[in-house]
Amino acid sequence: MYAQIGREVQRHGGDSISSRAVVSARRKLFLLLQAITVSSYGGPPVDAGPALPEAAFLVEAVARHDRQHGVAAEHLGESLLAREFSLALRAFERLERMDQRSGTV
């Protein structure tokens, strides 16, 4: 994200004072999806151990939600994650190209 902000500053001649470097929400989401997609190819998941006490309620809330909605862990495999994010990433790439053609980005 910070690299993209830096590119925006660079695009404006390095002047970060007279105008603000803006990264659109669409671009931020694209970058997020890209990072998640790339990270999903990094090998088998690592067991990080139990959640920190400060975050345990969040982890339990997600687990409870998944149990209530029939989301089984085996359906959340790396290939499914990679496939779904890849589809989303391609959609955002198309939107980005459309924005570039129309001059809005």
Domain count, the chain: 1
pLDDT on residue 104: 62
Residue 44 located in a structural domain: yes
39 or 65: which leads in pLDDT: 65
Question: Residue 46 carries which DSSP code?
Answer: P
Residue 57 located in a structural domain: no
72 or 11: which leads in pLDDT: 11
Per-residue pLDDT band for 82 (boundaries 50, 70, 90) equals low
Residue 33 neighbours by CB distance under 10 Å: 20
Written as one letter, the residue type at 65 is H
Q: Are the C-beta atoms of residues 37 and 80 closer than 8 Å to each other?
A: no
* Domain of 41, in residue numbers: 2-49+77-102
Q: Provide the whole-model pTM.
A: 0.37
Residue 38 located in a structural domain: yes
Residue 59 located in a structural domain: no
pLDDT on residue 48: 63
